[in-house]
Chain A
Amino acid sequence: MAVQSPSLDVGGAVLVVPRPVAGGRGYWQSVGRRLRRDPVTLVCAGILVVLVLASIFAPLLGLNDPYKTSMLRRLYPLGSPNHWLGTDELGRDMFARLIYGGRLSLFMGVTPVVCALLIGGMLGITAGFLGGKVNMAIMRVMDVFYAFPSVLLAISLSGAMGAGTENTLLSLTLVFIPPICRVSESVTTQVRGFDFVDAAKASGASTLTIVRVHVLGNVLGPILVYSTSLISVAIILAAGLSFLGLGVKPPEPEWGLMLNTLRQAIYVNPVLAALPGVMIFITSICFNLMSDGLRAAMDVKA
């Protein structure tokens, strides 16, 4: 799969395409080996795995009911008996809500990037490989989306469509398609220009084979690394939309929405009011560091 090691120029940045590793070890094997030797990436991956597992298996953890309100037990401070992270403005257990909140917050951060990776990646690779008019058509449409600051685009789309989880997913996906498409297009255009593609063509390989073996093999790494760097942005943006009241609707636990509803509590119990943000921060920093680690391990410079 790793054919040669040319340097690619992507928007002023240099990408290095996977090169064969001495000793005949496969590319992905050596990536795995480098990842295993990177303590920062491992720790971040560990934290994320714990967060994901905890939110998936939240009902099995014996937590308090995250929906059970109590007018008597509102805004308990941290360290209260039975509620060690306190209770929110409606008397619901904070710890349970923070763990359950991971379900929607993580889901709404990762899903749009995955969808955008599929759609934007496909569009970008098509544009880059076919070139010419197809490239023009696809990239000009992307330029239109680039005329909006991403947060504005997300908020305007969600604002027009109305609050709700599906609408947020849709608008965030739309926000992330153009950047992924642009990166995919520029990497593909450059790979297409290499001699090995011409050689494959000359030796009678079908277009499908060229795309599958020669193009995808070389562009997938950079596109994947770039997409992982968007996850942290997506998580913050999704939480931001819910914070504005445009995403998840109450009473669902979601970190951004919790930050919003707890704002009235900043004079009573400020530490409590800041807690959901800590979760967003930890998640986004872990995704960022993991993306950096992946970039280094996969030998992609950007």
Chain B
Amino acid sequence: MLLYALRRLIYLVPVAFGVSLLVFGLVHLAPGDPISAIVPPDAPKEVVDKLKEYYGFDKPLPVQYLRWLGVTLTGDLGTSIGTGRSVAQEVGSAFGNTIILAIAATLFAFTLAVILGTSAAYAKSRIVDRLVTSISLVGVSIPHFWLAIVLVIIFAVELGALPPMGIGPENSTGWRFDRAHLAHMVLPTIALSVIPLGVVTRTVRSTVKETLSMEFVTALQAKGMRDSRILFHVLKNAAPTCLAVMGLQAGNLIGGSILIETVFAWPGTGFLLNSAIFRRDLPILQGTTLVLAGFFMLLNLTVDIIQTMVDPRIKRG
């Protein structure tokens, strides 16, 4: 097991190298040279050259990349052009806010998905099955940023029951576990959880249904085992497939939160990324993308390892 984890970790190195190349390349995808984003167009040539030298943009690309990689590996993601603060700090505090929202949405979506999916697979009546299938269809088809707006319209504008945006009351300095902050979380959490809810419900339903038709279930029933115990065995067998999908969804949820955070002005990485794009704050764009991709990679690795722990049949070459 440890060997497997280690091998997976080593395998991640070339991928991480590719990711760093891509993130580094982001700056050079930008139209014009990276300096033009931060100086006024009529700046004297000496100033531009000086800045280029300061940021190292006068060096050939491979040299620039190696320098950037070296600095980045020490945890220094550069300085934000917009605020002058360190990128690592900005991304760090935003990342915490994103994670809080992501955890809430993940818990909500996965719990509901397992309950819905399992009951649909077990359901004798077609109505329950149809209902659950429709819910998952809506989940995967709905534009979640639109749902966010609709939720704001219904619960904030029309009913006035919940706050329309922000992480907490106006004087809030950061997320805290209290009533006001929790109320601010309700709508973003729901909006963020629809996609994983749809996808995971679909997977749980089909996997549990497939497991139920296996011979061991009939054997357990013939043996006279209680239904609740059989359910446990069924879920255990369905778990690896469901876990794989859940892991991917949890990661995608962090990417998808960019749109939701923008609608709710939730001060997370997505909100940061979006504002960085419009200020042409390339260091922030780079830093946020790198941190999120790194987190996504680690998450996938973790899911992979958990999967092999849950299901010892998976012996991967």
Residues on A facing B (Cβ under 8 Å): 12, 140-141, 143-145, 147-153, 155-157, 159-162, 232, 236, 239-240, 243-246, 256, 259, 263, 266-267, 270, 273-274, 276-277, 280-281, 284-285, 288-289
Given the interface pairs A149-B296, A274-B149, the reply to whether A156 lies near B273 with Cβ below 8 Å is yes
Shortest C-beta distance, A227 to chain B (Å), equals 16
Which partner residue on chain B sits nearest A239 by CB separation? Answer: B143
Contact of A143 among B18, B31, B251 (CB under 8 A): B18
Provide the bound-state CA to CA distance between A273 and B30, in Å: 33
B38 close to A (CB within 8 Å): no
Please, which residues of chain A bring their CB within 8 A of the CB of B96?
none
B262 close to A (CB within 8 Å): yes
Contact of A149 among B27, B255, B282 (CB under 8 A): B255
Please, which residues of chain A bring their CB within 8 A of the CB of B9?
none
Provide the bound-state CA to CA distance between A278 and B16, in Å: 40
Given the interface pairs A147-B18, A156-B26, the reply to whether A273 lies near B259 with Cβ below 8 Å is no
B214 close to A (CB within 8 Å): no
- Whether A152 contacts B293 by the Cβ 8 Å rule is yes
- Whether B255 contacts A150 by the Cβ 8 Å rule is yes
Q: A244-B274, A266-B153, A273-B149 given. 14 additional CB < 8 A pairs?
A: A143-B15, A144-B18, A144-B19, A147-B15, A148-B22, A151-B255, A156-B26, A239-B143, A245-B278, A259-B146, A263-B149, A266-B152, A277-B146, A281-B141
Given the interface pairs A147-B19, A161-B31, the reply to whether A280 lies near B282 with Cβ below 8 Å is no
In the complex, 11 of the A-B residue pairs with CB atoms within 8 angstroms, ordered by the A residue number, are A149-B296, A151-B259, A152-B296, A155-B273, A161-B30, A240-B143, A244-B258, A259-B146, A273-B149, A276-B146, A281-B143
- Whether B252 contacts A149 by the Cβ 8 Å rule is yes
Residues on B facing A (Cβ under 8 Å): 14-16, 18-19, 21-22, 26-27, 29-31, 137-138, 140-147, 149-150, 152-153, 157-158, 241, 244, 251-256, 258-259, 262-263, 273-274, 276-278, 282, 285, 289, 292-293, 296-297, 300
- Whether B149 contacts A152 by the Cβ 8 Å rule is no
Provide the bound-state CA to CA distance between A288 and B137, in Å: 8
Provide the bound-state CA to CA distance between A145 and B276, in Å: 22
Please, which residues of chain A bring their CB within 8 A of the CB of B278?
245
Provide the bound-state CA to CA distance between A204 and B158, in Å: 73
Provide the bound-state CA to CA distance between A141 and B14, in Å: 10
Which partner residue on chain A sits nearest B152 by CB separation? Answer: A266
- Whether A160 contacts B251 by the Cβ 8 Å rule is no
Shortest C-beta distance, A265 to chain B (Å), equals 10
Which has the most chain A C-beta neighbours within 10 Å: B141, B274, B277, B282?
Answer: B141
- Whether A240 contacts B259 by the Cβ 8 Å rule is yes
Which partner residue on chain A sits nearest B142 by CB separation? Answer: A281
Shortest C-beta distance, A209 to chain B (Å), equals 32
Please, which residues of chain B bring their CB within 8 A of the CB of A148?
19, 22, 255, 289, 292-293, 296
- Whether A285 contacts B273 by the Cβ 8 Å rule is no
- Nearest 4 CB-CB pairings of A with B: A149-B255, A277-B146, A144-B18, A159-B277
Provide the bound-state CA to CA distance between A284 and B15, in Å: 33
Given the interface pairs A240-B143, A270-B158, the reply to whether A144 lies near B255 with Cβ below 8 Å is no
Please, which residues of chain B bring their CB within 8 A of the CB of A160?
26-27, 29-30, 282, 285
- Whether B26 contacts A277 by the Cβ 8 Å rule is no
- Whether A274 contacts B150 by the Cβ 8 Å rule is yes
Given the interface pairs A162-B31, A240-B143, A243-B145, the reply to whether A277 lies near B150 with Cβ below 8 Å is yes
Provide the bound-state CA to CA distance between A119 and B149, in Å: 36
Which partner residue on chain A sits nearest B25 by CB separation? Answer: A160
Shortest C-beta distance, B275 to chain A (Å), equals 11
Shortest C-beta distance, A7 to chain B (Å), equals 14
Please, which residues of chain A bring their CB within 8 A of the CB of B18?
140-141, 143-144, 147
Contact of A266 among B157, B274, B296 (CB under 8 A): B157
Shortest C-beta distance, B25 to chain A (Å), equals 8
- Whether A289 contacts B137 by the Cβ 8 Å rule is yes
Shortest C-beta distance, B155 to chain A (Å), equals 12
Shortest C-beta distance, A242 to chain B (Å), equals 11
Please, which residues of chain B bring their CB within 8 A of the CB of A256?
143
Shortest C-beta distance, A16 to chain B (Å), equals 14
Shortest C-beta distance, B146 to chain A (Å), equals 3
Which has the most chain B C-beta neighbours within 10 Å: A152, A244, A259, A274?
Answer: A152
- Whether B277 contacts A246 by the Cβ 8 Å rule is yes
Shortest C-beta distance, B184 to chain A (Å), equals 18
